[in-house]
Amino acid sequence: MTAVPAISVPALSVENLSVEFRTRSGVVKVLEHVGFSVDKGETVALVGESGSGKSVTAFAVMGILDAAGKVTSGRAMFGGADLLALSEQDLAEQRGRELSMIFQNPRTALNPIRRVGRQIADVLVRHGGATRNDAPRAAIEMLKRVRIPDPERRAEAYPFELSGGMCQRIMIAVALACRPALLIADEPTTGLDVTTQAVIMDLIGELAAESGMATIFITHDLALAAEYCDRIVVMHAGHIVEAAPARELFGHPRHPYSAKLLAATPGETVSLESLASIPGGLPDLRRLDLPPCRYSDRCERRIDRCAEPLPQRTVGERHLVACWNPL
Amino acid sequence: MKRRSFIKTTAVAGAAATVAPAIWSEAKAQARNETLLIVNESPPNSMDIHGVGANRPAYEVSWNIHDRLITYGAKKDANGNDHYDYTKLEPELATDWNVTPTSATFKLRRDAKFHDGTPITAKDVKWSFDRAVTVGGFPTFQMAAGSLQKPEQFVVVDDNTFRVDFLRADKLTMPDIGVPVPVIMNSELCKKNATAADPWAMEWCKNNTASGGAYKIERWQPGQEVVYTRNDDWKNGPLPKVKRVIMRIIPSAGNRRALLERGDADLSFDLPSKDFAELRNSPKLTVVGTPIENAMTYVGMNVNQKPFDNVKVRQAVAYAIPYQQIMDSVMFGQALPLFGGADNKFKGVVWPQKDGYKTDLAKAKALMAEAGYAGGVETTISFDLGFASTNEPLTILVQESLAQIGIKATINKIPGANWRGELLKKNMPMIANSFGGWLNYPEYFFFWCYHGQNAVFNTMGYKNPTMDALIDKARFASGKEYEDAVKGFVDIAFEEVPRVPLFQPLLNVAMQKNVTGYRYWFHRQLDFRQLVKS
Amino acid sequence: MLKLLLSRLATAIPSIVGVVIVTFMLTRLLPGDPAAYFAGLAASPQAIAEIRTKLGLDKSLPEQFVAYIGDLAQGNLGNSLSTGQPVVAEIVTRLPASAELTLVALLLAVVIAIPLGVLAAVKQGTWIDHTCRIVTTAGVSLPVFFTGLLFAYVFYYLLQWAPAPTGRLDVFLSPPTHITGFYLIDSALTGNLEAFWGSLRQLALPAISMAIFSLAPLARMTRGSMLAVLGSDFIRTARASGLSPRTVIFTYAFRNAVLPVITVLGMVFSFLLGANVLVETVFSWPGIGLYAVNALITSDYAPVQGFVLTMAVLYVALNLTIDFVYGLVDPRVRLDA
Amino acid sequence: MLPLLRHARYVLSENPVTGLAFGLFAMFLVAAILGPVLAPYNPMQSNAAMALKPPSAAHWFGTDQLGRDIFSRVLVATRLDLTIAFASVILAFLLGALSGVAAGYFGGWTDRIVGRLADTIMAFPLFVLAMGIVAALGNEVINIVIATAIINFPLYARVARAEANVRRDAGFVEAARLSGNGETRVLLGHILPNIMPIMMVQMSLTMGYAILNAAGLSFIGLGVRPPAAEWGIMVAEGANFIQSGEWWIALFPGLALMLAVFCFNLLGDGLRDIIDPRMRT
């Protein structure tokens, strides 16, 4: 599913991305024809139930897929080059410098037996952000940028000595040390309490705005996405079912799955009793007889045409939907 | 220690463990050919032959670092090798002696000194002899074998004269003074280190030497090596040629042989028979094999247990032993056969000698039937784990041939300590074992192995009053009367066959071609004093 | 850190007591009568009885045990009958020989097994992984006495690359001045180059045959822990931050993976120290294993008890060192202990 | 059973080494069962004329000091060596796993006793312990099995204890206890079967060590009673002949020994992959 590019310059444009995993019990077609783009300074949310392929998309773009995973088709245009076609060395050059990523549980995502200051310094030295002997000072500078109090002492600490929020700030420092053009945040706040969640999201927003960085925000929390992201891409079982500006999607969701998703998200406007759960579950992606629309088994609005290959219909300004019988 | 440096140091140390060439200095090469390197299997466990449980390697140490009053002469054996002569007594510390029916008086060499310089006097000799007869255990037993039993027998006439009074006319007394046990010890030095609880300085003498012999101990690393150096002002015999001797313990027989063949070792004793058979035709080595006097390897049967209480069963076993197969694939020809003689009769005043048995399974089966065991019988055959290299293949062959005459024997390998314990209990039905006495007289062997006094070596528990009488007569008789007594007990031994003699083993020694002068001694250890290394 | 070491020591005391009791029982269970053995062949029953009283073996078992504990308290491990020396002196001279051999063997094993383990983990599933596994497993499958004999025959007798297997030093070299008892260290400290190279050459064959024997556990543990670490989140972050493969594998992954390997190292060391009896027999190495085996075969109680006790204490000391080194390498243990 | 077979086929294809191990294992089983039948000569029958002959058409592995055919003895020895290995491993498993699971499940005193016992045995130099047992009880096969089992006991106890400890509060254990099962039924019926996969991996690994142990005992003379054919004894006997040039007496039993231990170790790895993917260490 390829999104039609808008007027501004896209930082990253993913087209027709498909990924398979070879496992003990057969081949799993995790992603199929995924396409979307992110402009400079824009924040796009990748939303979907867990297991819908959000993280795999990010890993594929970053080139850090698990050994069993294989990109079978597609391109990821970034800075004029196709990331998927780059050799490991060239891609490694870009990672951490032009594009970087932060992960879910911060404490385990940092090296447990290495001082946090040194971990930031490692990235700086690797990408020429600083020379070996003034890297420690630059690292402390980075800690100031992510608003960590008393940075000189904190730099000497080990991850297990810091709180979850603090570790997440370190991760952000590591990711943004070389001022990348794109940041992918894979559920950065899921493990944190609500207040820290807000602080971290604001911090990412501020830093992105400062350097016009494009941000991809992967989450299963629609409310969070609505509040902090310009545009939302909804994924279901390896497909992009709908992509639209945040307000447009919340106001007028066109794909049945998006509507169900919204109905299942608690928020001020929706009372607890009226929360409806989405019937059925994600299909088993190892099946050989998967229907073109992987939501059809769970869709109340299924019609005969749903058996035909999915369309990509533009139903508004940068609003696309992959459904024969949209709302 | 900083973490990073810790990991780095292990890597650097690992890399340094490369192998670099040894650096031979000139001096060492010169020392190399003045030193004799001997490689043996087991180490000495004491410097004092009177010590509790002193083992045979300890006898070798004592023999070379101590003097005795007298020693034995030398003769050439059948194949021209040097052999001690038990008929000729030669001077050592005693320059001259006078033997009467009741006593023997010894003249001591005047200028003989101990290693620490103190002159050797009759006082030292008396103290040493008193020690030997009172300290108990094996030394006292050995002295008693020559009727040397009471301190009162030993008299200091003056500084250079020492007299031994006889308890009874025993022709073993004089030869017994030449065996390793009655050594001359530095009594002053020992008394200085003795204590009230240990008057004979047994503890001190275990690790230290109070001696005056041809060699001194330079270094002793228990269990590893003994290094001797020559005592240059030794007066009690011709000055030995070899300046320095190193005795190194190499437990693996294979490695000992490799050292000999590579020329890195000069001499070795205890190698398996097969190795000696092969080393005989190696151009670089000489192998001297001497039949061990008064010794035999035998299959012993317990005469107090079924079925071996029946003489016919014992004779059946004697006819069932695969003698020739044992000589070929167990001993590789490194022994003298004691089977297949003309008949089971006395063949001369010498022991061991051939008996009349040979492998004859038909006769053996017939004897088993006569004895009423046609249906077969179960038993076990045991041997000492320490001598497994010979006894294991031997017992497997015996087991196999006994099975063909109905005797089903399982093999029992017994470790060292249990072996002596089992011997004492005398309840093992059948054993494969060897025995060799020091004094080369037939009655001496029979006194230990056949006499009714049931010594530990009478492993068969054999008691025969007529034989006992004959043995006792032979011990103190001489001439025709002595010969008839020996004929009597040899005939009974062959007829009754409580133990089946197999072969007389050879004492084999392998040495480099440039090592000569080796002399065979009854104690089967090496005497460094005659050796020459060109 | 201290608290952890003390608590570990506390748990170790019962096992040492256990070892003392078990050794005492085991040696008394051994058949055969040491008195008879050491009284010599021609000993009469009464001579043997004499020795039995001298050795105190005629008393009842409890009395013997009390006497044994009494001696133990004063550090007197009794005398060995087979070598005639006090057991303490023997162990003091022989332990460094075994320890030196085992340490060098372990060092060799570490230098070979750990890189193999890392390689197998990094290249998991490829032919390199399988070859590493086959090579290390083949190593452990060879009975160590067999490899020892084969090496002695091939490298000494046939090829003459290695020196004569006559123990720790060539017969004509005198041992370096005694400082630690480790020939390599003593000769290095005293600058005695000849003894250093001499003992290194003598160490080569026995150490290699033992190293081969200990490759498998080390390589397998390294591979396992490397695989576990390579799959962890912080490695993904490191790769996502574009750090060079060398940094990712060695500075990040290996440092974490080395922790469980250290515990295996300890276990393998204590296993080897006990099991090098066979290598010591083949290479006439004057170590503690050979000493114990000879004592066991001749039912010579004192050395067996002394040997086992030393090994138990060594085992505890080893575990303490491992905890210490673990703390050194892993800050998490050092700080919260 | 079908999924496990398909799963096994997948692992075998992905990992040829494990395939090799299973092949070897099958070969050893056949040799153990049909050994005496397949042997061209009577392994016990000595023949002085044919002593110490190198490998030839008549005698593939040559003959030993008493002229016995080494190929037949190596073949027949498989049964004895495998029996020793299996028996000691199973005994060690029974002793170790049961006490380990009890320690892990009940904790408290049982845990401390089993823990200290395991430590004592671990602190004991393994080889001397085995020698002591065999020297004390005599070198019957059963004693070698007991000695080897006792040495491996701590390994099983430790692993069983850890696994049981982890599973003690697992859901299925709670459910079993709530549905009225007695403590022992929960232990034997639920926890033990659950840790079987890990135990089987341990068993196959220690099989290798069990054979090596028996061989080591034979080398110092405390092995199986002669004239029985057993790899360890044959290597020990052959050892004295390497120097004099009859290399084949020790080599072939040594190779058989190595192959068996090699096969069991690889089997252990393979089993682990098939049974418990998580444990792919």
User: Chain D: nearest CA to B416, how far in angstroms?
Assistant: 11
Subunit partners of chain D (3 or more CB pairs within 8 A): A, B, C
Give the best residue of B325, B384, B418 to mutate against chain D (max D CB count within 10 A): B325
Q: Identify all chain D residues contacting A25, using CB atoms and an 8 Å cutoff.
A: 7
Spatial distance between the Cα atoms of A267 and A275, rounded to a whole number of angstroms: 10
Whether residues D243 and B274 touch (CB distance < 8 A) is answered with: no
For position B72, what pLDDT does the model report?
92
Burial status of residue D72 (CB atoms within 10 A of its CB: 0-12, 13-18, 19 or more): buried
For position C318, what pLDDT does the model report?
83
**How many residues are listed for chain B in this entry?**
534
Residue among C38, C161, C284 minimizing CB distance to B252: C284
Q: To which residue do tokens 């020091």 refer?
A: B438
Domain ranges across chain D: 59-266
Q: Identify all chain C residues contacting D13, using CB atoms and an 8 Å cutoff.
A: none
Residue among D66, D241, D244 minimizing CB distance to B397: D66
User: Chain D: nearest CA to B386, how far in angstroms?
Assistant: 9
Query: Which residue type does C335 have?
Result: L
Q: Is residue B332 within 8 angstroms of chain C, CB to CB?
A: no
Burial status of residue A18 (CB atoms within 10 A of its CB: 0-12, 13-18, 19 or more): middle
- pLDDT higher than threshold 90 for residue C12: no
Spatial distance between the Cα atoms of C136 and C110, rounded to a whole number of angstroms: 12
Spatial distance between the Cα atoms of B239 and D231, rounded to a whole number of angstroms: 53
Q: Is residue A160 within 8 angstroms of chain C, CB to CB?
A: yes
Which is more confidently placed, B357 or C34?
B357
**Which of the four pLDDT bands, split at 50, 70 and 90, describes residue B16?**
very low
Subunit partners of chain B (3 or more CB pairs within 8 A): C, D
Q: Identify all chain C residues contacting A123, using CB atoms and an 8 Å cutoff.
A: 241-243
Q: How far is CA B350 from CA A38, B442, B446, in A?
A: 113, 6, 12
- pLDDT higher than threshold 90 for residue B394: yes
Q: How far is CA C200 from CA B9, B224, C188, C207, in A?
A: 19, 19, 11, 10
For position B151, what pLDDT does the model report?
93
pLDDT digits 0-9 by tens, D74-87:
999 999 999 988 99
Cβ within 8 Å of residue C310, ≥6 positions away: C91, C95, C288
The conformation of residue C254, written as its DSSP 8-state character, comes to: I
pLDDT digits 0-9 by tens, C261-274:
887 787 788 777 76
For position B25, what pLDDT does the model report?
54
Give the best residue of B396, B399, B410, B418 to mutate against chain D (max D CB count within 10 A): B396
Whether residues A127 and C242 touch (CB distance < 8 A) is answered with: yes
Query: Which residue type does B478 have?
Result: S
- pLDDT higher than threshold 70 for residue D279: no
Three-class SS state of D56: coil
Q: Which residue of D has its CA nearest to A23?
A: D10
Spatial distance between the Cα atoms of B20 and C51, rounded to a whole number of angstroms: 51
Maximum mean pLDDT: which of A2-11, B280-289, C56-65: B280-289
Q: Is residue C36 within 8 angstroms of chain B, CB to CB?
A: yes
Spatial distance between the Cα atoms of B269 and B40, rounded to a whole number of angstroms: 7
Single out the residue of D184, D177, D214, D192 nearest to residue D89, CA to CA.
D214
For position D281, what pLDDT does the model report?
34
Residue among D51, D66, D135 minimizing CB distance to B396: D66
Q: Identify all chain B residues contacting C91, using CB atoms and an 8 Å cutoff.
A: none
Spatial distance between the Cα atoms of D218 and D233, rounded to a whole number of angstroms: 5
- pLDDT higher than threshold 60 for residue B13: no
The conformation of residue A182, written as its DSSP 8-state character, comes to: E
Whether residues D219 and C221 touch (CB distance < 8 A) is answered with: no
**Which of the four pLDDT bands, split at 50, 70 and 90, describes residue B232?**
very high
Spatial distance between the Cα atoms of C290 and C275, rounded to a whole number of angstroms: 10
Q: Which residue of C has its CA nearest to D125?
A: C274
Where does D59-266 sit in CATH, by number? 1.10.3720.10
Mean pLDDT (whole number) for A89-95: 87
Q: Is residue B52 within 8 angstroms of chain C, CB to CB?
A: yes
pLDDT digits 0-9 by tens, A272-301:
666 677 777 777 777 777 788 888 888 888
Whether residues C37 and B224 touch (CB distance < 8 A) is answered with: no
Q: Which residue of C has its CA nearest to B143?
A: C42
Q: What is the ipTM of this complex?
A: 0.78
Least confident of A189-198, C227-236, D56-65: A189-198
Single out the residue of D133, D112, D129, D135 nearest to residue C271, CA to CA.
D129
Mean pLDDT (whole number) for B299-328: 92
User: Chain A: nearest CA to D73, how far in angstroms?
Assistant: 43
pLDDT digits 0-9 by tens, B63-98:
999 999 999 999 998 888 899 998 899 999 999 999
pLDDT digits 0-9 by tens, C222-271:
888 888 888 888 999 999 888 888 999 999 999 888 888 887 787 788 77
**Mean pLDDT taken over chain D:** 82
Give the best residue of D10, D12, D15 to mutate against chain A (max A CB count within 10 A): D10
Q: In chain C, positions 57-96, which contact chain B (CB-CB < 8 Å)?
A: 81-85, 90, 93-94
Which is more confidently placed, A150 or B418?
A150
For position B7, what pLDDT does the model report?
42
Q: Which residue of D has its CA nearest to B387?
A: D221
How many CB pairs lie under 8 A apart between chains A and D?
Answer: 5
**Mean pLDDT taken over chain A:** 85
Spatial distance between the Cα atoms of B426 and B419, rounded to a whole number of angstroms: 11
Q: In chain B, positions 303-342, which contact chain D (CB-CB < 8 Å)?
A: 324-325, 328-330
Cβ within 8 Å of residue B227, ≥6 positions away: B217, B218, B219, B220, B244, B245, B246, B247
Do residues B320 and B401 make contact, with C-beta atoms less than 8 angstroms apart?
yes
pLDDT digits 0-9 by tens, C47-79:
777 777 877 777 888 888 888 888 888 888 888
Which is more confidently placed, B325 or A288?
B325
Spatial distance between the Cα atoms of A32 and A53, rounded to a whole number of angstroms: 10
Mean pLDDT (whole number) for D189-194: 77
Whether residues A113 and C241 touch (CB distance < 8 A) is answered with: no
Spatial distance between the Cα atoms of C170 and C196, rounded to a whole number of angstroms: 11
Q: Identify all chain A residues contacting C123, using CB atoms and an 8 Å cutoff.
A: none
**Which of the four pLDDT bands, split at 50, 70 and 90, describes residue B298?**
very high
Which is more confidently placed, D48 or B363?
B363
For position B39, what pLDDT does the model report?
93
User: Chain B: nearest CA to C231, how far in angstroms?
Assistant: 23
Query: Which residue type does B290 have?
Result: T
Whether residues C18 and D117 touch (CB distance < 8 A) is answered with: yes
User: Chain C: nearest CA to D22, how far in angstroms?
Assistant: 14
Q: What percent of chain B has pLDDT over 70?
A: 94
Helix ranges (DSSP H) in A31-163: 54-62, 88-94, 116-126, 135-145, 151-155
Q: Is residue C10 within 8 angstroms of chain B, CB to CB?
A: no
Q: What percent of chain C has pLDDT over 70?
A: 96
Whether residues D227 and B399 touch (CB distance < 8 A) is answered with: yes
**Which of the four pLDDT bands, split at 50, 70 and 90, describes residue A271?**
low
Cβ within 8 Å of residue B339, ≥6 positions away: B321, B323, B354, B355, B357, B358, B501, B502, B503
Mean pLDDT (whole number) for B283-289: 92
Q: To which residue do tokens 């308890």 refer?
A: B167
Q: Identify all chain C residues contacting A101, using CB atoms and an 8 Å cutoff.
A: 237, 240
The conformation of residue C30, written as its DSSP 8-state character, comes to: S
Spatial distance between the Cα atoms of B184 and B109, rounded to a whole number of angstroms: 13
Mean pLDDT (whole number) for B410-439: 84
Rounded (to 5) percent helix, strand, coil in chain D: 80, 0, 20
Spatial distance between the Cα atoms of D85 and D87, rounded to a whole number of angstroms: 6
User: Chain D: nearest CA to C171, how far in angstroms?
Assistant: 21
Q: Which residue of C has its CA nearest to A115?
A: C331
The conformation of residue D41, written as its DSSP 8-state character, comes to: S
Q: Is residue A24 within 8 angstroms of chain D, CB to CB?
A: yes
Whether residues A126 and C244 touch (CB distance < 8 A) is answered with: yes
Residue among C125, C237, C332 minimizing CB distance to A103: C237
For position B28, what pLDDT does the model report?
63
The conformation of residue C252, written as its DSSP 8-state character, comes to: I
Q: Is residue A132 within 8 angstroms of chain D, CB to CB?
A: no
Give the H or E element holding residue B71.
strand B70-76
Whether residues C137 and D266 touch (CB distance < 8 A) is answered with: yes
Give the best residue of A22, A23, A24, A286 to mutate against chain D (max D CB count within 10 A): A24
Phi and psi of B178, rounded to 5°? -95, -5
Query: Which 3-state string (H, E, C) describes B140-165?
Result: HHHHHCCCCCCHHHEEEEECCEEEEE
Q: What percent of chain B has pLDDT over 90?
A: 55
- pLDDT higher than threshold 50 for residue B10: no
Whether residues C12 and D265 touch (CB distance < 8 A) is answered with: no
Q: Identify all chain B residues contacting C90, using CB atoms and an 8 Å cutoff.
A: 222-223
Which is more confidently placed, C226 or D268?
C226
Spatial distance between the Cα atoms of C171 and D193, rounded to a whole number of angstroms: 59
Subunit partners of chain A (3 or more CB pairs within 8 A): C, D
For position B354, what pLDDT does the model report?
92
Spatial distance between the Cα atoms of A327 and A321, rounded to a whole number of angstroms: 10
Q: How far is CA A245 from CA A251, B134, B510, D207, D279, in A?
A: 10, 114, 100, 65, 46
User: Chain C: nearest CA to A173, how far in angstroms?
Assistant: 11
Which tokens is A211 given?
């350097």
Cβ within 8 Å of residue B338, ≥6 positions away: B296, B352, B353, B354, B355, B501, B502, B503, B504
For position A267, what pLDDT does the model report?
65
Q: In chain B, positions 186-245, which contact chain C (CB-CB < 8 Å)?
A: 206-207, 221-225
Burial status of residue D261 (CB atoms within 10 A of its CB: 0-12, 13-18, 19 or more): buried
Give the best residue of A55, A108, A111 to mutate against chain C (max C CB count within 10 A): A111
- pLDDT higher than threshold 80 for residue C337: no
Mean pLDDT (whole number) for A151-175: 90
Mean pLDDT (whole number) for B469-496: 89
Query: Which residue type does B303 have?
Result: V
Q: What percent of chain C has pLDDT over 90?
A: 12
Single out the residue of D209, D194, D212, D208 nearest to residue D275, CA to CA.
D194
Spatial distance between the Cα atoms of B376 and B374, rounded to a whole number of angstroms: 5
Whether residues B257 and D244 touch (CB distance < 8 A) is answered with: yes
- pLDDT higher than threshold 90 for residue B206: no
